[in-house]
Amino acid sequence: MKTEKIQIFSKNLAVQNKPTANNTAFTGTIPYHRVNKDDIYPFLPASFRVMKKIKNNMGEAQNIIINAVGTALVAPIFIKWNPFSKTDEETRTYTAWRQPVSAVLAIITQVGITIPFNKIIDNAANTGDMGVNYNRNSFQDKKYLAKQLKKNHPKLSDSKIKPMAENLYKKQEQIILDDIEARNKIEYNMRGKNKESIGTLYHEVVNETMDDLIRGTKHNLEMLDYKSEKRLERAQFYRKNEDFCKGIIAEIDTKVNNINASDVKEDDIKGLTKFLKQKIDSIKRDKTKKEMAKVLDEIYVRCIVLNDPKVAYKEVCDKVSRVKEYISIDAKDDTNLAKLLQEKTANEYEELSTNLKKLREIQDDMKKSGLPVSKIQERIDDFVTKFNNEAIHKYFTNPEINIKTPLTEELTTELKEIAEKFNTDEIIPDRKKLLTRLQEIVSDEFKKVDFSALDDYSFAEKVLKKYTGKIESNIKCLKQVTGLVVSLAILPFTCILLNWTYPKFMDIFFPHLSNQKHSKETKKFVDKTAENCEVKS
């Protein structure tokens, strides 16, 4: 049975679910490299990348312009050539021209007032002019940093400024992290004042971070039953429909094996996708076989989501062989599986509920005595991390190995093994101690290994993420509220402006529609003559 990994804490902590008798508890959190969403995008379908591009290029100004273009070009068509209206066309045409005029005025007022207003708020948040809840002076955004760099170094190109701004941003984050870990506080700058602590906001952020961990653990507990229920359902299906399942999977297996594994082409995957789609469609019709359609869908997804046919093929092969294995195990006896699942769930349940209990204890202590983040980290590490790797153990406990230790073949191999561990989900103990140790013994060969992963994602980092997230969300909210106030405040002006501009625009460009058939001088003359000719009673 496949060992399922379970989440202990929603995002940052994981335990490999292989409890053994030799497990030794060590302090330390699980190190891993933080994957940026930008690392994932290249692997997603083209449509997602297009959507992302739209998002990046869609600023406030673009939104206003699209809106205005719609008002100016689309709306008038449906007023002038409206098939349901009985009003004469001349009046409709006259009224339709109000739309483009109002669109131009909207661009002027919104681009001229709303956007600069939001920029002022953003700027104030960066420079430290805003209060503690809206102040991002200690983590100024990359755009602002790049702007400042450009101001100070006008000769630098944008391609150089971008990484510099990113570095500066990371440095800012590091300062906050150090403050959290070493001094149990976050400081911020108010313009014209000295640095000061964010005060109660800090405790709020730390408490909420702990709340998140507890909620994540609770969620994982709730998911345990769901997962094993689903697994049992599938096992029962395999048992009841053993021949059918084996037949289908054998067909797919043959199809997969016909592909040349050393030279997988896009067309091979396309052919496999088509075959799977047809199979799914034919199985789906029979409601009793729906579960098999789901299984095939899981294989199908592996074919369609990637651009790289080789990886897709490898993934499909893995999945097919797993399904084959499951069918042959589950078809035999599901009582045994149920028992195993029950045991597994019970183990996981016990582990998770213990963690939950301990997290709640920490939370209680936080309320009573305001535990510093470093202590919280220690206590979490205490019960979360398990260690079962002799090689690593040897290296960080052996005082004889240091930077001067010659790199023997054996040492190189073992160091490589350690480095490999950072590429896996393996749990590594006491990350800081190990990091120091590895840095001591590391040679040029290992300098390319990114050990920064070891410092990633501590409780402090969660606190930092919570803090920056809160401030960003507050700024967003404030922009929306003040945006509403500004819009309401300028409404009378835009209204007056439209009513002043619109008839004048029509008089100038469409005099025949605005009853201005004559020039102003002629009109005056006509009016005067009409007055003189009037019959006086």
How near is the Cβ of 408 to another protein at its closest, in Å?
A: 25
How near is the Cβ of 267 to another protein at its closest, in Å?
A: 19
Cα(258)–Cα(249) distance, integer angstroms? 14
Cα(153)–Cα(146) distance, integer angstroms? 10
Inter-residue contact 295 to 301 (CB < 8 Å): no
- Which listed residue (336, 473, 519, 522) binds another protein by CB under 8 A? 473
| Per rule CB under 8 A, count of chain residues that contact another protein | 117
Nearer Cβ to another protein (242/472): 472
Stretch that binds another protein, among 255-263, 346-354, 379-387, 464-472 (CB under 8 A): 464-472
User: Which residues, numbered 126-145, are part of the site for another protein (CB under 8 A)?
Assistant: 129-131, 133-134
User: Which residues, numbered 508-537, are part of the site for another protein (CB under 8 A)?
Assistant: 514-515, 535, 537
Nearer Cβ to another protein (201/329): 201
Q: What string marks each residue from 11 to 50 as x (binds another protein by CB under 8 A) or -?
A: xxxx---------------x-xxxxxx-xxx-xxx-xx--
- Which listed residue (338, 353, 478, 510) binds another protein by CB under 8 A? 478
Residue 19 neighbours by CB distance under 10 Å: 14
User: Which residues, numbered 485-504, are part of the site for another protein (CB under 8 A)?
Assistant: 485, 487-488, 491-492, 494-496, 498-499, 502-504
How near is the Cβ of 32 to another protein at its closest, in Å?
A: 4
- Residues 199-208 as b/e (b if ≥16 CB within 10 A, e otherwise) read eebbeebbbe
Nearer Cβ to another protein (84/157): 84
- Which listed residue (27, 105, 117, 179) binds another protein by CB under 8 A? 117
User: Which residues, numbered 56-115, are part of the site for another protein (CB under 8 A)?
Assistant: 58, 63, 66-67, 70-71, 74-76, 78-79, 82, 84-87, 90-92, 94-95, 98-99
How near is the Cβ of 30 to another protein at its closest, in Å?
A: 7
How near is the Cβ of 472 to another protein at its closest, in Å?
A: 8
User: Which residues, numbered 198-237, are part of the site for another protein (CB under 8 A)?
Assistant: 212, 215-216, 219
Q: For 136, how many CA atoms within 13 A lie in the half-sphere containing its CB?
A: 27
Cα(230)–Cα(491) distance, integer angstroms? 57
3-state helix, strand, coil in the chain (%, to 5): 75, 0, 25
User: Which residues, numbered 273-332, are part of the site for another protein (CB under 8 A)?
Assistant: 297-298, 300-302, 304-306, 308, 310-312, 314-315, 319
424 binds another protein (CB under 8 A): yes
CA–chain centroid gap for 322, Å, is 30
- Which listed residue (453, 455, 510, 523) binds another protein by CB under 8 A? 453
What is the amino acid identity at position 382?
D
- The C-alpha angle 304, 311, 228, rounded to 5 degrees, equals 70
Nearer Cβ to another protein (55/287): 55
Nearer Cβ to another protein (91/342): 91
Nearer Cβ to another protein (233/333): 233
Cα(61)–Cα(77) distance, integer angstroms? 24
3-class DSSP string for 423-489 = CCCCCCCCHHHHHHHHHHHCCHHHHCCCHHHHHCCCHHHHHHHHHHHHHHHHHHHHHHHHHHHHHHH
Collect all residues with Cβ–Cβ distance below 8 Å to 412 and sequence separation of at least 6.
445
Cα(214)–Cα(364) distance, integer angstroms? 12
